[in-house]
Amino acid sequence: MSAARQIPLDLTFRPSYGRDSLVVASCNQMAVGMIDRWPDWSGYPLVTLFGPPASGKHHLASLWANRAQARILSVTEFFEAPLEELISQQKNFVIERADFIIGDVAQEEKLFHLYNHAHQGNIFLFLTMQTHPAQFTYAHGGHLASRLQAAPILEITKPDEQTLAAVMVKLCADRHMDIAPEIVFYALDRMERTFLSVKTLVEMLDQESLADKRKITIPLLRQVMTRLAESSK
């Protein structure tokens, strides 16, 4: 390893989850509209948001949590929390990666009872998943499935080029990286157009530019994209 090249420190950074930094496009506008309409959810105490990895589900859930003063639970935290504890808090909840609940009898039953409590107690639930709730095999029978599928289900759909470009700029800004528009579109013309691919590329560009103390240029981008392509073979 050359003397000029440095291993970047694993410094934490704070992604921006505010409304001003949200990329609103056709792929997520229904979800944004539902968040803006809360608490007018037409009598439903729950909505489910699903979409591919890195598509902004956490950002949208965080916006709703801030608006609804909700507690955000990872699926692990949901598994570990007794139902009685959740009910006693009398709070709105975000449950992230709730697809991992499906298939576990005890956890499905807990979510079923929490849904019923929400329906009776004027609290709200916001679930995030990577798959439509109808695609799962439920362990608890049809009770939970019917509740989830009757309530609003929102999808983050496939992004277009302009949306991915805006997402790439946003992710770079989170890391205090300057990236020119021509570099963004150079990348998008040569990569899989998914949210996750953009996230992975930005993370690796950040690492490489810090390690070599280089600005984000097309030669550096080409080097990173070649390395990513080789690693995926």
Q: Are residues 81 and 66 in the same domain?
A: yes
The two three-digit tokens of residue 135, written as one number: 């695609």
Closest CA to 81 of 102, 110, 118: 110
Q: Are residues 220 and 133 in the same domain?
A: no
Q: Are residues 132 and 81 in the same domain?
A: yes
Range of the domain at 209: 161-231
Residue 95, pLDDT score: 98
- Residue 189 neighbours by CB distance under 10 Å: 9
Q: Are residues 206 and 145 in the same domain?
A: no
Residue with tokens 């970047």: 8
Closest CA to 138 of 103, 100, 111: 103
How, if at all, do strands 46-50 and 71-73 pair?
unpaired
Closest CA to 165 of 148, 144, 182, 152: 182
Helix (H, G, I), strand (E, B) or coil at 93: strand
Question: Of 120, 155, 190, which marks where a domain is finished?
Answer: 155
Residue 18, pLDDT score: 73
Q: Are residues 71 and 132 in the same domain?
A: yes
Question: Residue 169: which residues within 8 A CB-CB, separation 6 or more?
Answer: 179, 184
Residue 69, pLDDT score: 97
Predicted model pTM: 0.86
Helices (H), the chain: 29-37, 57-68, 75-80, 83-89, 105-121, 142-150, 161-174, 181-188, 195-212, 218-231
Residue with tokens 């029978």: 141
Residue 233, pLDDT score: 65
Q: Are residues 119 and 185 in the same domain?
A: no
**Residue 4 counted as domain residue:** no
Question: Of 155, 175, 205, which marks where a domain is finished?
Answer: 155
Q: Are residues 50 and 126 in the same domain?
A: yes
Residue 52, pLDDT score: 96
CATH number for the domain harbouring residue 103: 3.40.50.300
pLDDT tens over the chain, length 233 residues: 333 333 333 434 456 667 777 899 999 999 999 999 999 998 899 999 999 999 999 999 999 999 999 999 999 999 999 999 999 999 999 999 999 999 999 999 999 999 999 999 889 999 999 999 999 999 977 789 999 999 999 999 999 999 999 999 999 999 999 999 999 999 999 999 999 999 999 999 999 999 888 899 999 999 999 999 888 76
